[in-house]
Amino acid sequence: MSTDIMEAPLGGDPASLEEPKKMTREDWRRKKELEEQRKLGNAPAEVDEEGKDINPHIPQYISSVPWYVDPSKRPTLKHQRPQDEKQKQFSLMGEWYKKGVKERPRRVGAKFTGANIAPDEYSQPQLMLDYDGKRDRWNGYNPEEHMKIVEEHAKVDLAKRTLKAQKLQEELASGKLSEHVNSPRHQWGEEEQNSQTERDHNSEDEDEDKYADDIDMPGQNFDSKRRITVRNLRIREDTAKYLRNLNPNSAYYDPKTRAMRDNPYADAGKNAEEVSYAGDNFVRYTGDTISMAQTQLFAWEAYEKGSDVHLQADPTKLEVLAKSFKVKKEDFKEDQKKSILEKYGGQQHLDVPPVELLLAQTEDYVEYSRHGTVIKGQAKAISRSKYEEDVLINNHTCIWGSYWKEGRWGYKCCHSFVKMSYCTGEAGKSINNTDICEENVLPSDEEMTKPKTLVEIHQEKLKKKKKHRKSGDSDSDEDKKKQEKLKKALAAEDSRLKHVEEILQIDERKRAYNSIYETREPTEEEMEAYRMKRQRADDPMASFLGK
């Protein structure tokens, strides 16, 4: 082989066959965005050197050109198309190198150099086989060579037969065979059968290297003298998996693969750490299995982000990268938490007792019937107050505040509105429910039946007139007082509206908290002033109020 071929195996420049450089994360992101835009039709498709568009939906392993085929890395699909110039050089089916012919190729012919003058010998041509020719296992095979193997086996069989014939001749000459023939066992046929079986065994031993059909399968042969067994499945002293729990509803056992994935002792309430066997999944998902799976997931995610890491290719580099990433991630979360607390506060809300103590929540399971009785579990304890409950005083059967009427609280047992009073029972109810005023007292039956005189009737009329006058005078005084209160309320409403307008002009971040609101209950006059000063959107004269 020449030195030129050794320097460039495929006929190219060695500098151009370098391994492709690694892409940066930003270049990788731009490349992916451009591919998505091309698939959506928002960006023009790639064009090869012949001016043909490349379908953006073609997988990458088809569209990417190997570095040893096209070092220029131009977008093309030419390497996927049939190469006509190469197909013409393929050899025909059946052509092969000539066997048994000596070759002595020369770089320069003897007629040119004048050295080692000798007739030119046959030089083997270089065959260019196609896809099928390279994978044809019988290409170049001569069927006549099989007859040599058949003849060789025939000679071996003939030699064995001659050896057996010689041994038989020697036995006849020594007289051993005649003794066996004259024995009484031979007369009954037993000796002949035994000798025949011995000869068959001997022949089988001789042909053991030739025929292997009678060899015992592993695990089936047992020799009591050697006490050797082939334990290819499990140790016979161990308990089988399906015998650990005979409940058919327990862990599922697959007889084909001899696998029991779940814990067979889960029905008995035993954890995986308490038993000797807890299922195949317990061993499969314990130890470093979970950490290995997490490391593999981290390797995939890092490779998608542009990091050249691999679990099997460089495990040490991946482990160091994963540890540094975890440390940086925890530090970033801690810094982010501190910055949020410094900006908005709330550190005092983090130092709280557990949620179970705040909301009195537990993991206890309680099952109730449709009537509210407890079927399974323990009933929830009734929450009690730290204050004394149902403490009754002064012969009362109800607590203070159990009765309400006309804006006042009282006792329900006696309808009394006086706190700490003595209970009078039903008598107190009748007295407290009736008005004791003179004008509300109904006349008795005797007064209704007794006729009134003219003087009594005249006196009643005079009393009614006096009462009416007094009520009229009192009404006029009350009206005057209401008018004065209303005027004061209107003036206060005007000042309040001006104050509100002034506050609304101030920036809301600078004004005081609840500066517009009041906590006291407004009076009737203030509510009336508010209604009178309020502007309605549906009022047709609302636009003229400010003019």
Averaged confidence pLDDT in the chain = 76
pLDDT at 179: 60
Q: What percent of the chain has pLDDT over 90?
A: 13
pLDDT at 19: 55
SS3 string, 248-307, reads CCCCCEECCCCEECCCCCCCCCCCCCCCCCCCHHHHHCCCCHHHHHHHHHHHHHHHHCCC
pLDDT at 326: 92
Residue 498 has pLDDT above 50, yes or no: yes
pLDDT at 195: 54
Residue 112 has pLDDT above 70, yes or no: yes
Beta strand spans in 103-225 (E): none
Is the entire prediction scored with pTM above 0.95? no
Work out the pLDDT band at 85, boundaries 50, 70, 90.
low
pLDDT average, residue stretch 220-234 = 49
More confidently predicted of 514 and 254: 254
Beta carbons of 375 and 368 less than 8 angstroms apart: yes
pLDDT at 506: 82
pLDDT at 230: 44
The conformational region for residue 372 under phi > 0 = left, psi -120 to 50 = alpha, else beta, is left
With residue 462 as reference, give the H or E element that holds it.
helix 454-505
Flag the least confident range among 109-123, 174-188, 328-342, 410-424.
174-188
Q: What is 114-131 written as a DSSP string?
A: --S--PPPP--------H
More confidently predicted of 377 and 450: 377
Residue 120 has pLDDT above 60, yes or no: no
pLDDT at 13: 47
pLDDT at 427: 86
Q: Residue 337: phi, psi to the nearest 5? A: -65, -45
Q: Residue 253: phi, psi to the nearest 5? A: -115, 125
Instruction: Give the span between the Cα atoms of 400 and 391, in whole angstroms.
Output: 10
Residue 368 has pLDDT above 50, yes or no: yes
Longest dimension (CA), the chain: 184
Residue 1 has pLDDT above 90, yes or no: no
Flag the least confident range among 23-27, 184-188, 287-291, 299-303.
184-188
3-state secondary structure of 405: strand
Beta carbons of 334 and 326 less than 8 angstroms apart: no
Nearest to 90 by CA among 134, 28, 43, 154: 134
